[in-house]
Every structure is written in structure tokens, then in C-alpha cells.
Amino acid sequence: MPQHVQGVIAPGRNEPVRVETIVIPDPGPGEAVVKIQACGVCHTDLHYKQGAINDEFPFLLGHEAAGIVESVGEGVTEVEPGDYVILNWRAVCGQCRACRRGRPWYCFATHNAKQKMTLLDGTELSPALGIGAFAEKTLVAAGQCTKVDPAVAPEVAGLLGCGVMAGIGAAINTGNVGRGDTVAVIGCGGVGDAAIVGSRLAGAAKIIAVDIDDRKLAKAKEMGATHTVNSRTSDAVESIRELTGGFGADVVIEAVGRPETYEQAFYARDLAGTVVLVGVPSPEMRLDLPLLDVFGRGGALKSSWYGDCLPSRDFPMLIDLHQQGRIDLAAFVTETVGLGDVEKAFARMHEGDVLRSVVVL
Ligand code: APR
Ligand code: ZN
Ligand code: ZN
């Protein structure tokens, strides 16, 4: 029997989000229904509401979640009812060219539920990133459920489902930060701070946090930055060079998503260093760099999608490291809120007050 639950929808471009009754079908072949326990509020949810992702309103928002599998459809073997899972938006297909070449983190045919969740009047909902977890329950592809140790609280574990994984992965998967490296992270929100945590975990010798907000720099230091630079009051490139013996950093992680900060990242790295772009730009943004500098400085200019993560490999590993005290995922949770507080959480995000607000159900 289809179930009725409460969920947060974005009804139309820039309209306030609201809690509505939504209809969850029974899971079909390859699908699972998950009882959501916690879901972080991410920038991408706000972008959906603003119509910046696409026009397929109404959206069922939320995609950074942990919960318990309630039921599974035919043929599902990877999870069973009762499993504690983090939801992911990269359920790799195993068949596409990227998967067959052994690079499943680039999979371009990832799985989502085939059936649609709807409003009571039958209007089909578009779940954010194929998840839709600001809801008491949601319907996903079984491969979107990654089983982890239930000892870690859902408001903490769920964060690995998006922003924190993106940042840690930008450092350890995309940037290949290694023992003794110097790293600079430009933009110290949730994603940048996660890149700091990842760099520290990987053994970086120096981690330089760059931001225009001193509150963010203070937090970055708590997260493991060894040095901080306020790029409103000092030149980011000069400061990073000074702090690295005049060379520039081995890896610079851009976690803002703007041309001017990308340019800083480009010039703040050492010759043959690596730039990782994990901040998400908007369509109108353009970059203008001397091609000779692109050639002459060598190295690698990379982008990091979802931290180039493989959920089945990375989520349980990071949960283990958290339990050992080698990373502190709980430090990312600024506040827990209710299902009716998503609009307020967007406002706080906009003000730069929070790393993460997490909806707890
Ligand atoms: N220079 C340095 N830091 C900046 C600048 C700038 N010009 N502009 C903004 N920042 C800082 C902000 O002060 C803030 O600390 O960047 C940080 C951005 O943090 P959040 O707004 O919390 O964003 P976050 O969730 O970390 O995401 C960062 O990654 O996933 C993408 O869409 C997301 O593009 C966004 C980026
Ligand atoms: Zn694939
Ligand atoms: Zn997200």
C-alpha cells in the first residue's frame, strides 16, 4: 500500500518551501523505502528552490541523509529492512564505459528510483539529486543506500551523503593530498572545512585556510588549519606564497566556485602543483587566464564532483575513522532543526551563520 508522509517541497521558482503530504509507493524491483532520521540542509537544495538547477518543479528537497531501510523491492540483495544507511547520489551502474574501465566514481548512468513520489493530487515530485530526504520516508534505488555502523548518530553520519564527502574527497581522492604536502583551501564553509579535515587526515604538513570572514577562519583552525589568511585584508596569493617559502602550495582547493577565487587558486600553487575546483560555479561565470601560464606552470587543474567518491568504499571508511577519533564529523553540525524549519535554515546559510543545519525527524 502506498504510504502518506510529510515532506518539504519547493513548489515553484523562489517560492517559499512548505511541508506537504506526499505519497510514497511501495518499492518496486531494485528500489527501497527508507525511513529518514536526519538530513542536512545543503546549498544545492537552495539552488533547486531558486530554479538554478532545472525547472522540474515541484521538488522534494533534501539529499544529505541517514536512516533505516524500511522495505525493499524485488531482486534487492545489497540491503535489507532494518539496515542503517547513508543515502548517496552515486549508485553506480557497473555497466557504463566509466564503470567498465574501473573508474566508477565517474559513472554517468547512476541509479535512482524508477517510480515517482507524488503529492496527494497525483502531481509527480522531482526528488533533489534523486533522493528527496526532507521527508519522513523516501523512495530510492537500493544502490543509493550505503550501509554503515549504526553507532554513529544520523545527524552526523548523514553529512557524508553530500557536502562533507565532497570536501574530504576533494582533498584525498581528487587532490591526492599526501604526507608532507602543503595545502591551501580557499573558502571555509562546510565543504572547505571538510577539505581541511581531509588534508589533515592525509598527512598534509601545512594547511592554509583562506576566507573573507574571520568567523570562518576561526572555525577552520579548529578543524585543522595550521595557518589562516583573510583575503579581504591581505592578498591571498602573496600570503600563501609567503607561508610556503615563496613557492606556493602543492595542492590548492577552491571551495567557493567563483572566477576570482579560482584565479587565486591557480596562482597560489607551486609549479606543477594541483588545483582542485570543488565549489560549484554558475552558468554565466567565465575564466580568463593567460594560456601561457596554464602551459608554463604545468601540473594539474582538476574538478571534483562529489569528492570523486565511491560511496560503498568511502562512507564506511570515513565512519570508521570518525569512530576512532581520527576525524570529527560532529564538528560540522551547527544546529539540528525540524522539518518545518528548512526555510529558516536557508536564511541562516545565506547569512554565513552555519556550517550545517540538520533536519532531525
Ligand atoms: N574568497 C574567499 N572566501 C570566500 C569568498 C571569496 N571571494 N566568497 C565567499 N567565501 C567564503 C564564505 O565566507 C564561506 O565561508 O566561502 C565559504 C562558502 O561557504 P558556504 O557558503 O558555507 O558553502 P559550502 O557549503 O562550503 O559550499 C561551497 O561548494 O558545493 C559547493 O555549491 C557549493 O559552491 C558552493 C561551494
Ligand atoms: Zn556506470
Ligand atoms: Zn548537497
pLDDT tens digit sequence for 2-14? 999 999 999 999 9
pLDDT of the residue at 70: 98
Largest CA distance in the chain: 66
Alpha carbon nearest to ligand 1 atom 36, residue: 279
Give the per-residue pLDDT at 352. Answer: 86
- Low-confidence stretches of the chain (pLDDT < 50) are none
Query: Which residue in 313, 319, 315, 203 sits closest to 250, CA to CA?
Result: 203
Helix/strand/coil percent split, the chain, to 5: 35, 25, 40
Pick the residue whose CA is nearest to atom 30 on ligand 1.
279
Q: How many residues would you count in the chain?
A: 361
The continuous run of DSSP H or E covering 31 comes out as: strand 31-40
| Ligand 2 centroid, distance to 93 Cα (angstroms) | 4
Own/partner pairs, 18-23, CB within 8 angstroms, 24+ separation: 19/339, 19/340, 20/119, 21/119, 21/120, 22/60, 22/117, 22/118, 22/119, 22/120, 22/125, 22/135, 23/117, 23/118, 23/119, 23/120
Q: What is the pLDDT of residue 340?
A: 97
Q: Is the peptide bond before 58 cis (omega within 30 degrees of 0)?
A: yes
> Ligand 1 test: best mutation among 211, 214, 231, 254, most atoms within 8 Å of CB?
211
Report whether residue 211 contacts ligand 1, using a CB cutoff of 6 Å. yes
- CA distance linking residue 46 with residue 57, whole number of Å: 13
DSSP letter at 172 equals I
Is 190's C-beta closer than 6 angstroms to any atom of ligand 1? yes
State the closest ligand 1 atom to the C-alpha of 42, by its place in the atom list counted from 1: 25
**Is 275 in contact with 265 (CB distance < 8 Å)?**
yes
- CA-nearest residue for atom 2, ligand 1, is 211
Q: Report the pLDDT value the prediction gives residue 187, as an integer from 0 to 100.
A: 98
Can you tell me whether residue 327 is helix, strand or coil?
A: coil
Cβ contacts of residue 293 below 8 Å, gap of 6+? 266, 267
Cα separation, 253 vs 247, in Å, equals 16
Query: Ligand 1: distance of its center to the CA of 352 in Å?
Result: 9
Other CB atoms closer than 10 Å to residue 348's CB: what's the count?
16
Q: What is the Cα–Cα distance from 137 to 22, expressed in whole angstroms?
A: 9
* CA of 292 relative to ligand 3 center, distance in Å: 35
Residue 167 CA to ligand 1 center (angstroms) comes to 11
